[in-house]
Structure 1
Amino acid sequence: MALRPFTFAIIATLGLAACGDTVTEQALIGGAVGAGAGAVVGGSVLTGAAIGVGANVLYCEVANNDC
């Protein structure tokens, strides 16, 4: 049980740090990572995917100038 938060943090950090070249790629990467994180922590996979899509696109398009 103690590994779940740690595993979630690693998945979220690595996945959301990966920007795609297009908004579609960014959405797919974020959705996959969010769905995986939702499954790992026992939450909703769909909710995790939705949050992942939004977070990754926002990060890649607004906050990160390296993409």
Structure 2
Amino acid sequence: MFKPLLLAGIGAALVAGCTQNIRPTDADRAIIGAGTGYVVQQVRGKGGSDRLKGAAVGAVGGALCDDVGLCQ
């Protein structure tokens, strides 16, 4: 269970990093990451609580992607 959530977080961080040309804030990247994490879990056929976990992991991944150098 943890591995798919980790992959969703990494994927969300990478997608959030694709917004470089518009100079997004941490909040913008967190929103993009949360949406991506939620959709990944939905596509995987997971239920409500797993979708929220995916959104949470995605939000953290998106907000922190520039801090770790993934989206610079």
Whether these two folds match at TM > 0.5 is yes
- Aligned pairs for 1:2-41 (under 5 A) are 12=11, 15-19=15-19, 21-41=24-44
* Aligned mate of 1:45, from 31, 34, 51: 51
Structure 1 residue runs of 4+, over 4 Å off?
none
Deviation at 1:49, TM superposition (A): 0.3
Instruction: Give secondary structure in 1 for the equivalent of 2:65.
Output: helix
- Identity within the alignment, %: 27
**CA deviation map 1:17-51 (0-9, x unaligned):** 43461111011100000000010112221111001
- The alignment's C-alpha RMSD in Å is 2.7
TM-score (norm 1): 0.64
Give the structure, 1 or 2, with the largest relative contact order (CA under 8 Å, sep 6 or more).
2
Equivalent residue letter for 2:53: T
Q: Answer yes or no: is the 8 Å Cα contact 1:31–1:49 preserved in 2.
A: yes
Aligned residue-pair number: 57
Where structure 1 has 5 or more consecutive residues not aligned to the other structure, the ranges are 1-7
TM-score (norm 2): 0.60
Where structure 2 has 5 or more consecutive residues not aligned to the other structure, the ranges are 1-6
